[in-house]
A and B are shown apart, each in its own frame.
Chain A
Amino acid sequence: MGLTADEFTIQFIATLIKFAIVAGLLLQIPPLMVWAERRIPAMMQRRKGPNRVGIFKWRIYGLMQSLADTIKLIFKEEVVPEGAQKAFYHLAPVFSVFPAFLIAMAIPYGPDIHAFGTIIPLSVIRVDVGFLFIFAVSSLAVYGITIAGWASNNKYSLLGSLRASAQMISYEIPLGMSLIPPVLIYGSLDLNKIVEAQNHFWKWGVFLSPLSFVLFLIAMFAETNRAPFDLAEAEGELVAGFHTEYTSAKFAAFFLGEYVGMFVLSCLASTMFFGGWQIPFIDVQKLDELTGFIGVSAIFGHVTLMLKATFFMWLYVWVRWTVPRFRYDQLMSLGWKYMIPLGLVNVVLTAVVLAAVRFS
């Protein structure tokens, strides 16, 4: 690639550091979200939620409840159901965890750092195909669910996994179609270039392509099997869905995969439609020059993206406690009969308008 040995070393060390930071961040997501999913509805319903568990006398709003729960969870007995396909039963959590981590590493968490005579991108993985990488890997997430449901030898698990995987593949198409207009507008598949192109508040994807954003938002909820589309684990019908028979650390693994998936889609929504690491009306990339310190822009950009992603994570919880659950036939017809035609119309309209503006 024409890199000298020094550059290679710098990039390699930078990759390891970035990877360690992002991995550390991702492992914090499930405990924080478990806490948020109890405190936010408590706030909405004017009750307290978990607020006692703390370290010594510091209660910090019950934040330690998640830690206590995690410790309790992983020390529980593992019950493997009778007649389960043993190898697949143990393999399913692995299939559920690794795609989530792979796609999370492809998000640009901040502007490029110009340091040590080279450019260090702030996404761990940056490949030529851009965010097609995210689609490719996230399409593998279906297997964790399918295999888990099938291997458990339980009717509820099997039904839940079939429902969940049919739902996920159905909404993958509108999800993919909703991101084509931003690609047309910003002219790139690379997420970092898309963010750089949104350098002005009114150039954000949500203003230039609002229909895409609506489609993406709906598909995002369906992809992660969250309310109002959480039919895969509709308690009244299917107990807990595909992970009915999973206990202890394996159950935690499914949680990890699920919450990291939610976080990635939140980041992706912020990146495509809300300017990613761009702060409105401030040129983040200039902050390095202004302050004279390398990395200031990276920190500010990163915090901005995290705040935007936090909003979407909060939205997940908000919607869960506000909107009633769909019926399965309604869910499928929403995906196939409304969102796919709308997505196609959106692509055609954007293309024609853009072509009329740019090539006339």
Chain B
Amino acid sequence: MNPYIPVLIVLIFGLTLGAILSALAAFLGPRNPRPEKSDPYECGVPKVTNANEKMSVKFYLTAILFILFDIETIFLYLWAKAFPQLGWFGVIEIMVFMVILVAGYIYVLKRGALEWD
């Protein structure tokens, strides 16, 4: 059996369940809208400004560093899969790979990009 048939079944089930839960409230609950109630919650006081403020650039930097280190982790997984066959050759190979990336990591650290202030 194709290993992705179960994946499809579960995917369809998960999406349906989520959709049902998301739609359920519209059918079961009462409807009693009032302007005060549908105001975004700000601890009870009227809304001051809209929620579309510009956010700190730190989040952007985190996301981009995440992508780069994520790719590194994937290469490590590939190497781990072939580790028994490659032996010492593989170890040296991945060391070279890692030394280059650790240099990048140290640069990030030295530039203070990991300081969250």
Indicate if A touches B (C-beta under 8 A): yes
Q: Give bound CA distance, A121 to B15, whole Å.
A: 25
A115 within 8 A of B: no
Q: Quick check: B98 and A344 within 8 Å, CB to CB?
A: yes
Partner of A128, one of B3, B51, B98: B3
Tell me which residues from 82 to 116 in chain A have a Cβ below 8 Å from any Cβ of chain B: 82-84, 90-91, 93-102, 105
Which chain B residue has the least Cβ–Cβ distance from A78? B25
Q: Quick check: B29 and A97 within 8 Å, CB to CB?
A: no
A279 within 8 A of B: no
Q: How many residues of A contact B (CB 8 A)?
A: 87
Which chain B residue has the least Cβ–Cβ distance from A127? B3
How many residue-residue contacts, CB under 8 A, span A and B? 208
A54-62, A221-229, A345-353 - interface stretch = A345-353
Q: Give bound CA distance, A183 to B82, whole Å.
A: 10
Q: How many residues of B contact A (CB 8 A)?
A: 69
Which chain A residue has the least Cβ–Cβ distance from B80? A183
A7-15, A196-204, A207-215, A295-303 - interface stretch = A7-15
Across-interface contacts of A245 in B (CB, < 8 A): 40-41
Q: Give bound CA distance, A230 to B24, whole Å.
A: 28
Q: Quick check: A79 and B37 within 8 Å, CB to CB?
A: yes
**Given the interface contacts A93-B22, A98-B11, A336-B114, does A80 sit within 8 Å of B38 by beta carbon?**
yes
A162 within 8 A of B: yes
A280 within 8 A of B: no
Q: Quick check: A127 and B4 within 8 Å, CB to CB?
A: yes
Q: Quick check: A75 and B29 within 8 Å, CB to CB?
A: yes
Tell me the smallest distance from the CB of B56 to a CB of chain A, in Å: 9
Q: Quick check: B10 and A124 within 8 Å, CB to CB?
A: yes
**Given the interface contacts A15-B6, A78-B25, A91-B22, does A239 sit within 8 Å of B105 by beta carbon?**
no
Across-interface contacts of B5 in A (CB, < 8 A): 12, 15
Q: Quick check: A105 and B83 within 8 Å, CB to CB?
A: no
Q: Is the interface of A mostly helix, strand, loop or mixed?
A: helix
Q: Give bound CA distance, A125 to B3, whole Å.
A: 7
Across-interface contacts of A125 in B (CB, < 8 A): 3, 6-7, 10
Across-interface contacts of B6 in A (CB, < 8 A): 15, 19, 105, 124-125
Across-interface contacts of B23 in A (CB, < 8 A): 90
Which chain A residue has the least Cβ–Cβ distance from B14? A98
**Given the interface contacts A158-B51, A328-B116, does A79 sit within 8 Å of B15 by beta carbon?**
no
A256 within 8 A of B: yes
A76 within 8 A of B: yes
Partner of B77, one of A78, A127, A132, A253: A132
Across-interface contacts of A155 in B (CB, < 8 A): 40, 42, 51, 53
Across-interface contacts of B76 in A (CB, < 8 A): 177, 180, 347
Across-interface contacts of A184 in B (CB, < 8 A): 80, 83
Partner of A239, one of B41, B55, B84, B87: B41
Q: Give bound CA distance, A265 to B112, whole Å.
A: 32
Tell me the smallest distance from the CB of A59 to a CB of chain B, in Å: 27
Q: Quick check: B105 and A341 within 8 Å, CB to CB?
A: yes
A39-47, A164-172, A270-278, A317-325 - interface stretch = A164-172
Which chain A residue has the least Cβ–Cβ distance from B56? A162
Across-interface contacts of A7 in B (CB, < 8 A): 1
A192 within 8 A of B: no
Q: Quick check: B66 and A102 within 8 Å, CB to CB?
A: no
**Given the interface contacts A97-B18, A153-B50, A180-B77, does A248 sit within 8 Å of B25 by beta carbon?**
yes
Q: List 12 A-B contacts (CB under 8 A).
A: A82-B40, A94-B19, A98-B15, A127-B4, A132-B77, A154-B41, A154-B51, A166-B58, A180-B76, A249-B25, A333-B116, A352-B91
